[in-house]
Structure 1
Amino acid sequence: MADAEPVLEVRDLVKHFPLTQGIVFKRQIGAVRAVDGVSFTLHRGETLGIVGESGCGKSTVAKLLVSLEKPTSGQILYKGEDITRLSGRALKAVRRNIQMVFQDPYTSLNPRMTVGDIIGEPFDIHPEVAPKGERRRKVQELLDVVGLNPEYINRYPHQFSGGQRQRIGIARGLALNPEIIVADEPVSALDVSVQAQVVNLMERLQAEFGLSYLFIAHDLSVVRHISDRVGVMYLGKLVELGTDHEIYEHPTHPYTQALLSAVPVPDPELAGRRERIILTGDVPSPANPPTGCRFRTRCWKARERCALEVPPLAVPAEYRYAEGPAHHDSACFFAEDDPAVTAPDTPAQH
C-alpha cells in the first residue's frame, strides 16, 4: 500500500522545444509545447500510471524526472527539494534515487558490453554502493532478483530474448537501490505473454524493495493491472487524474471516455452494449495547440467557454458535493460520469 507521504511532487512542469529558422543566423520562430503545466504527486510505495496517445508528452515527462532534459519552468520536488535547481554532486546524489527503465530493450543495452558490465556500470559512477571487490557478487545477486541465471554474467545482449533484455534493464535500474523507478513504456516492445511476466516481476520487486513507480504506457489494460492511480495526458497536459477504479469505471473527461471506449472487449454481448466514441479530426500540433481546452477541437461537448478558458485539473463542480464515485480531478468544464464507457479487465494475470 502507498504511504501517505509524497516522495515526489511535480508542480506546473513545462518543457518547450524551440523551433528555429535559418542555417547560420538561427532565430526562434516558435516552440513545441511537449509538456505544458503538468502537476502530480507520487507517494512512497505507489504506482502512478500515465497514459495517452503517442506524442502527448509522456516520455518527455519521464526524461525530465531523471534529468535527461532540463525543464523550461516548473518544479520537481524530491523529498521537498527542487532537483531542477541542482547540479554537480548534489544532482548526482539525487539521481541515484531516481532511476529509469527504458522502452526498447534492444537499443537501451550496449551490444559491445557484457551483461555484467551493463548492470555494474552504475557502480563506476557511485562506487560507494559496491566496492570493486564486491561488484561481481552484487551483479549476480541482481540477475537472480530479476529471474535470470547469475552465470549469464559474461554473456552479451544479443544472446537474450526481448523479455530477458528488459529484465537486464530492470536489474540495471535496481543497482543503486533507488526509491523511484521511472518506467517509460517498459513492456510495449514485448509479446503479450512476456508483458505479463515483466509486469508481475515489477510488482514483486515493488513489494520486496518498497519502490515507487511512475509507469508510462499507452496500453490501458497494462496500466490498469499495475497502477494505484492513473493520469491521462493529452497534448502536453494532464486531463484526468484519479484512482484506477475512478478512471476506468467512472471516467469524467470526454477524452478518457473515448480512449476507454476503444479498448477491445472479449465478450461479444458486452461489446454490443458498449457505446463506441469515434473522435473526429486529427490531434492538433503541439507547436500550435488550440486556445482554451486543447481537446475542444475533437470534443462533442465543446462550447464557447472551452475556447476562452483553460479548464483546471480539479473535481468537476457538479460532483464536488454530490455522493458517488466521480470525485477525482478532471480538466473539463462539462464533465459527466458515463458508467457505460468502461474498460475491460486486463488480460495480464498473476
Structure 2
Amino acid sequence: MPPSDDVVLRVEDLVKHFPLKRRGSLRAGGVVKAVDGVSFTLRRGETLGVVGESGCGKSTLARTLVGLEKPTSGAVRFGDSTVHTARGRELRELRRRIQIVLQDPYTSLNPRRSVREILLQPFEIHPDVLPKARRLDRIRELLDLVGLDASLHLDRYPHQFSGGQRQRIGIARALALQPDVVVCDEPVSALDVSVQAQVVNLLERLQKELGVAYVFIAHDLSVIRHISDRVAVMYLGKLVESGPGAGLYDTPRHPYTKALLSAVPVPEPGRRAQRQRILLAGDPPSPVDPPSGCRFRTRCWQATDTCATEEPPLAGPDHPVACHYPLAA
C-alpha cells in the first residue's frame, strides 16, 4: 500500500445496486448489481485506468465516485472526508476537489450557454475560490491550457465547435477549480481516432503540469495502456485483476483479462497470425442474477466445481487477481 499521505482517494468495498421496477412497483428482491464490492486507492498525480466490456459497471462507478449516485454500501474517502456523508461546507469543498469529465461532449455542455458562461459557472457556484475581477483572466488561462484561443472561442456556443473542441471545453471546466482528482468517464469514446490521441495527450500534459490524479474509464485497451500507471479490470460489477499497466498487459493473470487483450486489434499483419485469439463462449450473465462463486466461471475455459461454490478474493501484493487458478506470470 502507498503511504497514507500520498493517497488522495480511497474506495472501500463500494456497492451500488439499482432496484428493478415492474409496472410502477418494485419487484421483491430484484436489483441490478452494477457495482458490487470495489476497492482501490488512488495516489496523487497517478492515473488509474478502469477497463471492461460494456455493462460491467464502469460508468456507475464513475458517477458514484463523484457523488452523483449514492452507494448502497461501502465508502469513497477523500482525505479525512467521506464523499456520501459530507454535508455543508465539507461537501462543497469535496465537490470542488473531485471533478468529472463526461463521456459525450455533445450533451455534457449546455447548448444555451456560451463558453464564457460555461466556464464562469464553477466560480459562481464556488465564489470564494476566486475574486470576480480575476475570473475572466482565469477563463482565458484555462482555454489556453487546453489549446483553444480565447479571443476566437470565448463567446461561441457548443454547436459551433467540433467534438474534440467540445471535449477540451469540458476538460477546462473540470480543471477550473484546481481539483486534486478528475474522473474521466470514457472521455474519448465519442471522438475520431486522431482526435482521441489529441485529447489523451492533452490529459497527460495537464497531469504533468498540474499534478492532478485521474480515474480514467474506457473500454479501449490501447488508450488505457497509453495513459495509465495502473490498470483495474472490471467484470460484472467486480474488479477481477489490477496492477501496473506494463505488468498487466505483458503477463495477465486472470482468464478474462487475457481474453480481453487477445481482442485488441494488431496493426502489423505478420503478428496477427502469431497471436492466439480467445473467443469466450456465451453471453455475459445478467447483473440481476450473477453466477455463484466466480462470476466469470460460466465463460471460463478452466473453471471447476470450486469456482461455482467459492468466490475468489482479489488477492496479491503488487498484481492482485481474483481467480482460483490464475494464469502463470
TM-score range, shorter-chain basis?
Answer: over 0.9
Q: Do the aligned residues in 2 keep the contact of 1:15 with 1:34 (CA within 8 Å)?
A: yes
Any idea what SS the aligned residue of 1:40 has? strand
Instruction: Give the structure 2 partner of residue 61 of structure 1.
Output: 61
CA-to-aligned-CA distance 1:307-337 (integer Å, 9 cap, x gap) = 111100112xxxx8xxxxxx51110010113
CA RMSD of aligned residues (A): 1.5
Deviation, 1:132, is 2.1
Give the Cα–Cα distance (whole angstroms) in 1 for the partners of residues 80 and 266 of structure 2: 43
Q: 1:265 to 1:26 in 2, by over 3 A?
A: closer
Structure 2 letter corresponding to 1:185: E
How much identity, in percent, do the aligned residues show? 63
Give the Cα–Cα distance (whole angstroms) in 1 for the partners of residues 221 and 77 of structure 2: 28
Instruction: Give the structure 1 partner of residue 176 of structure 2.
Output: 175
Structure 1 letter corresponding to 2:225: R
Any idea what SS the aligned residue of 1:240 has? strand
Q: 1:26 to 1:10 in 2, by over 3 A?
A: closer
CA-to-aligned-CA distance 1:274-303 (integer Å, 9 cap, x gap) = 111000000111011001110000000110
- Note the residue ranges of structure 1 that are not aligned, 5 or more in a row: 321-326, 339-350
Instruction: Give the structure 2 partner of residue 121 of structure 1.
Output: 121
Give the Cα–Cα distance (whole angstroms) in 2 for the partners of residues 20 and 156 of structure 1: 39
Give the Cα–Cα distance (whole angstroms) in 1 for the partners of residues 308 and 26 of structure 2: 33
Instruction: Give the structure 2 partner of residue 334 of structure 1.
Output: 325
Structure 2 letter corresponding to 1:113: R
Any idea what SS the aligned residue of 1:208 has? helix
Instruction: Give the structure 1 partner of residue 217 of structure 2.
Output: 216
Q: Do the aligned residues in 1 keep the contact of 2:66 with 2:83 (CA within 8 Å)?
A: no
Q: Do the aligned residues in 2 keep the contact of 1:57 with 1:236 (CA within 8 Å)?
A: yes
Instruction: Give the structure 2 partner of residue 347 of structure 1.
Output: none
Structure 2 letter corresponding to 1:301: Q
Structure 1 letter corresponding to 2:148: L
Structure 1 letter corresponding to 2:211: G
1:74-223 mapped onto 2 (5 Å cutoff): 74-151=74-151, 152-223=153-224
1:27-38 mapped onto 2 (5 Å cutoff): 28-38=28-38
Asked if 1:44 corresponds to 2:59, the answer is no
Deviation, 1:268, is 2.0
Give the Cα–Cα distance (whole angstroms) in 2 for the partners of residues 169 and 105 of structure 1: 7
Q: Do the aligned residues in 2 keep the contact of 1:239 with 1:253 (CA within 8 Å)?
A: yes
Give the Cα–Cα distance (whole angstroms) in 1 for the partners of residues 128 and 272 of structure 2: 56
Q: Do the aligned residues in 1 keep the contact of 2:19 with 2:26 (CA within 8 Å)?
A: no
Q: Do the aligned residues in 2 keep the contact of 1:162 with 1:190 (CA within 8 Å)?
A: yes
Structure 2 letter corresponding to 1:17: F
Provide the TM-score with structure 2 as the length reference: 0.96
Any idea what SS the aligned residue of 2:195 has? helix
Q: Do the aligned residues in 2 keep the contact of 1:112 with 1:156 (CA within 8 Å)?
A: yes
Structure 1 letter corresponding to 2:275: R
Give the Cα–Cα distance (whole angstroms) in 1 for the partners of residues 65 and 182 of structure 2: 10
Give the Cα–Cα distance (whole angstroms) in 2 for the partners of residues 40 and 80 of structure 1: 16
Q: Do the aligned residues in 2 keep the contact of 1:20 with 1:28 (CA within 8 Å)?
A: no
Q: After the TM superposition, which of the residue ranges 111-120 and 76-85 deviates more from structure 2?
A: 76-85
Any idea what SS the aligned residue of 1:19 has? strand
Structure 1 letter corresponding to 2:323: C
Any idea what SS the aligned residue of 2:154 has? helix
Give the Cα–Cα distance (whole angstroms) in 2 for the partners of residues 240 and 117 of structure 1: 42
Deviation, 1:247, is 1.0
Give the Cα–Cα distance (whole angstroms) in 2 for the partners of residues 74 and 133 of structure 1: 42
Structure 1 letter corresponding to 2:216: F
Deviation, 1:88, is 2.8
Any idea what SS the aligned residue of 2:84 has? helix
- Note the residue ranges of structure 2 that are not aligned, 5 or more in a row: none
CA-to-aligned-CA distance 1:255-282 (integer Å, 9 cap, x gap) = 0000000111112222111111000000
Give the Cα–Cα distance (whole angstroms) in 1 for the partners of residues 244 and 139 of structure 2: 36
